[in-house]
Amino acid sequence: MQGHRVELRFPGTLAGFDEAFSTLLAELRADRIDPRSRFNVEVVFEEIVSNLVRHAAPHVGTLDVEVSVDLGANPIVMTFVDNGPAFDPAHRPDPMPPTSLSDAPDGGFGLMLVRRATTSTQYERMTDRRNRLVVAIAATPLATSAQAGS
């Protein structure tokens, strides 16, 4: 697999999120990775950046988000850096399984989806008071998937 790195830098706003996600999707479409791996990259980007925009941005003047995605290798590695408050997603438990609509949680599903989509997660609060989150996502080259399915 040929290495391919996508680097995105954008404001932690809904508009910034929207534009960066569109750029990432165009890069993913151009890359030869299997649909499930690509979907997992999308899920992780969606949930991590959505959390930043909704929960971190209100606490800082301007939230700056940097995302890099190393495609074309196994695993795919995604790195998120932001200047929001410290937040280690590993310390947030999954919500309790809902038993009825009335007791269903309103949130907490995002990090649950991230855990399901990734094989490892490393969080660091850096000395410059920024957060750095590195996640790995298992990847299967398209050619290998096709052979496996034949």
- Binding-site ranges for other proteins (CB under 8 A): 14, 17-18, 21, 35-36, 39, 42-43, 46-47, 49-50, 53, 97-102, 104, 106-107, 109-110, 112-113, 116
Minimum distance between the CB of residue 94 and other proteins, rounded to whole angstroms? Answer: 9
Between 17 and 80, whose beta carbon lies closer to other proteins? 17
Between 3 and 22, whose beta carbon lies closer to other proteins? 22
Minimum distance between the CB of residue 3 and other proteins, rounded to whole angstroms? Answer: 25
Between 44 and 81, whose beta carbon lies closer to other proteins? 44
Minimum distance between the CB of residue 129 and other proteins, rounded to whole angstroms? Answer: 26
d(CA 131, CA 125): 5
First to last CA, the chain: 20
d(CA 102, CA 95): 14
CB distance 110 to 75 below 8 Å: no
Between 101 and 148, whose beta carbon lies closer to other proteins? 101
Provide the token pair at 77: 């590695």
Helices (H), the chain: 14-30, 35-51, 109-117, 142-149
CB distance 35 to 99 below 8 Å: no
Minimum distance between the CB of residue 37 and other proteins, rounded to whole angstroms? Answer: 11
